[in-house]
Amino acid sequence: MAALPRRIIKETQRLMAEPVPGISAVPDESNARYFHVIVTGPEDSPFEGGLFKLELFLPEDYPMSAPKVRFITKIYHPNIDKLGRICLDILKDKWSPALQIRTVLLSIQALLSAPNPDDPLANDVAELWKINEIEAIRNAKEWTRKYAMDN
């Protein structure tokens, strides 16, 4: 494996030294570019009480290109699809090399607090979120209980 760039080493060290509240991100033992992430469902959101597993991978040209992030735990959210892929501008065209793993994870946490059904990835979920928010939130709570509270 190629030597790890200083940027990744430093960023990982800082992330370990000052973790983001409600988020844990641990590099894999055998691959320092692969992170095991757990995000706590934000308070006052339908995801409250859930622990959501994600994977985060830093591609070869990181930080010139964005990290690849995906939810592993099933989640009922208008901006996250069945495969756990996330619709977030900073992971796409708004990525800047000055952003970090920390900012990405904070943005994901914010997305859980404030779903955006107008920029959807999961169409059926977004649809319901728009026409019947109460039912959509009920579904999200249901999924959180079912899939994110086991362990």
Partner 1 sequence: MNSDEEIPSDEVDSGNVSSSDDVEFPMEVESNTSREKQNEIEDYPYEVLSTEQIVQHMVDSIKEVNSVIQLPHTTIRILLNHFKWDKEKLMERYYDGDQEQLYTEARVVNPYRKSINAQKKQSRRSTGTEECEICYMILPSSMMTGLECSHRFCTHCWTEYLTTKIMEEGLGQTISCAAHGCDILVDDATVMNLVKDSKVRLKYQQIITNSFVQCNRLLRWCPSPDCNNVIKVHNVEPRPVTCKCLHTFCFLCGENWHDPVKCHLLKKWIKKCDDDSETSNWISANTKECPRCKVTIEKDGGCNHMVCKNQNCKADFCWVCLGSWEPHGSSWYNCNRYDEEEARAARDAQERSRSALQRYLFYCNRYMNHMQSLKFEHKLYASVKGKMEEMQHHNMSWIEVQFLKRAVDILCQCRQTLMYTYVFAFYLKKNNQSVIFEDNQSDLESATETLSEYLERDITSENLADIKQKVQDKYRYCDSRRKVLLEHVHEGYEKDWWVYTE
* Residues that bind partner 1 in the complex, under the rule CB under 8 A: 5-7, 10-11, 61, 63-65, 90, 94, 96-99, 103
**Catalytic site residue from 37, 56, 80, 87:** 87
How far apart are the C-alpha atoms of 136 and 151, rounded to whole Å?
24
Structure tokens at 109: 């946490």
Q: Smallest distance, Å, CB 5 to partner 1?
A: 7
Q: Smallest distance, Å, CB 64 to partner 1?
A: 4
Is residue 87 annotated as part of the catalytic site, yes or no?
Answer: yes
Length of the chain: 151
Give how far Cα 34 sits from Cα of 9, 69, 70, 76, 95, Å: 12, 10, 12, 25, 19
When the beta carbons of 2 and 134 are compared against partner 1, the nearer one is 2
Q: Smallest distance, Å, CB 97 to partner 1?
A: 5
Structure tokens at 100: 């970090």
- List active site positions: 87
